[in-house]
Amino acid sequence: MIKIYAPASIGNVGVGFDILGAAITPIDGTLLGDCVSIKSSNTFQLNCYGNFSTHLPSDITKHITWKAWNWFNKKTNKKKPISITLEKNMPIGSGLGSSASSIVASVLAFNYFYKTKLTTIELIKLMGTLEGSISGGIHYDNVAPCYLGGLQLITNDIQYPIQKLPVFKNWLWIIAWPGITVSTSSARNILPLHYSQEECVQNSRNLSTFIHALYTQKSELAIRFMKDTIAEPYRILLIKKFLYIKKTIKKLGALTCNISGSGPTLFSICLNISIANKVKNWLEKNYIKNNQGFVHICKIDQLGARKIRI
Ligand code: HSE
């Protein structure tokens, strides 16, 4: 029996639409991510449980874990009976890489079970393709950090398709999911197909300065350039009172307020725990819409997906 845990992630990281992603983990030890366990069995079984398992499609063949299993089953042609358990701890359509978490945990578990020995690049490609099949476009900014941990830059280069970036060790990442969903494909569909020269130049400037600031460890510079001109200006229309929320938490001492992935989760960076707690409390009172929503203070998860003890 093997069990794989795959952490939550923040796609785009406020400045790198589709090309930056960070794996995160709550500092209070909460396991914020899906788990997949598998063992040999006499019959094929796919069982789901966990807080968000009731939101999964009832047609098993539309299930991302089933799609991943189907890929390995065809590839190996072994028809080995298998019992799969998905622990769905991540809310679907939250902007926290929920589908990536299920995909990464499933693919790694099957790669181990079927002894397929795919390379890191082959695994990433497969994960991206599966992600594309459910979110309306292949993007690696959730699957790459979820699999490999840390802050990842997606280059799409043949030899070095992803690169791990340095981070600021003292940054605390507050994430707030209101308890409602936004589908990634609809949040992608509202984006323009064309951008002006000025928007492109500004976006290049923001992203390159941010990366420079990471390598030179200039935290204030990085914060000032954590701005997106490609997705966020359009997506804030999907988030009620976004500008008011941003202004208010900045008054409390938060350094940033951005959309995590395609939303509606917001993330904010704080430098000390007392400010982080104030921001967390404010978001809990003012951004959470029901008892499913949550706010966590997180740090970067450098480990990525991993085997966990059963
Ligand atoms: N880069 C993707 C998007 C992330 O913004 O659509 C989705 O979580």
Domain extent listing, the chain: 2-165+302-307, 172-299
Cα of 177 from ligand 1 centre, angstroms: 15
Tens of pLDDT, residue by residue over 247-292, are 999 999 999 999 999 999 999 999 999 999 999 999 999 999 999 9
CATH of domain 2-165+302-307: 3.30.230.10
The arithmetic mean of pLDDT across residues 282-303, rounded, is 97
Give the 3-state secondary structure of the chain: CEEEEEECEEECCCCCCCCEEEEEEECCCCCCEEEEEEEECCCCEEEEECCCHHHCCCCHHHCHHHHHHHHHHHHHCCCCCEEEEEECCCCCCCCCCHHHHHHHHHHHHHHHHCCCCCCHHHHHHHHHHHHHHHHCCCCCCCHHHHHHCCEEEECCCCCCCEEEECCCCCCEEEEEECCCCCCHHHHHHCCCCCCCHHHHHHHHHHHHHHHHHHHHCCHHHHHHCCCCCCCHHHHHHHCCCHHHHHHHHHHCCCCCCEECCCCCCEEEEECCHHHHHHHHHHHHHHCCCCCCCEEEEEEECCCCCEECCC
Domain 172-299 -> CATH class: alpha beta
Angstrom distance (rounded) from CA 139 to CA 290: 30
Mutation to probe ligand 1, out of 102, 182, 184 (largest number of atoms < 8 A from CB) = 184
Closest ligand 1 atom, CA of 141?
Answer: 1
Tokens 């358990």 sit at which residue?
85
Q: Report which protein residue has its CA nearest ligand 1's atom 6.
A: 262
Band (pLDDT 50/70/90 cuts) for residue 209 is very high
- Protein residue with least CA distance to atom 7, ligand 1: 261
Name the binding residues for ATP: 91-101
Distance from first CA to last CA of the chain, Å, rounded?
8
Half-sphere CA count of 258, side-chain side, radius 13 A: 27
Give helix 98-113 / helix 64-76 axis angle, nearest 10°. Answer: 30
Contact 36, 65 (CB under 8 A): yes
Render pLDDT for 78-115 as a digit per residue (tens, 0 to 9).
777 899 999 999 999 999 999 999 999 999 999 999 99
**pLDDT number for residue 20:** 98
204 C-alpha to center of ligand 1: Å? 18
* Residues lining ligand 1, Cβ inside 6 A: 11-12, 17-18, 95, 139, 141-142, 184, 187-188, 231, 261-262
pLDDT tens figures, 211-237: 999 999 999 999 999 999 999 999 999
Which of 94, 139, 183, 191 for mutating ligand 1's site (highest number of atoms within 8 Å of CB)?
A: 139
From the CA of 39, how far away is ligand 1's center (Å)?
33
Q: Are 182 and 136 in contact (CB under 8 A)?
A: no
CA distance 27 to 265: 18
Determine the pLDDT at residue 134.
82
> pLDDT grade, residue 77 (50/70/90)?
confident
**Using an 8 Å Cβ cutoff, are 64 and 103 in contact?**
yes
Distance (Å, rounded) from C-alpha 173 to C-alpha 275? 11
CB 261 within 8 A of CB 96: yes
Q: Give the tens place of pLDDT for each residue, 10-23.
A: 999 999 999 999 99
Please report the pLDDT score of residue 158 as a whole number: 87
- Would you state the pLDDT for residue 296? 98
State how far the Cα of 209 lies from the Cα of 86, in Å rounded to an integer. Answer: 40
| CA 81/CA 148 separation, integer angstroms | 29
Q: List, for residues 148-182, the tens digit of each pLDDT value.
A: 999 999 999 988 899 999 999 999 999 999 999 99
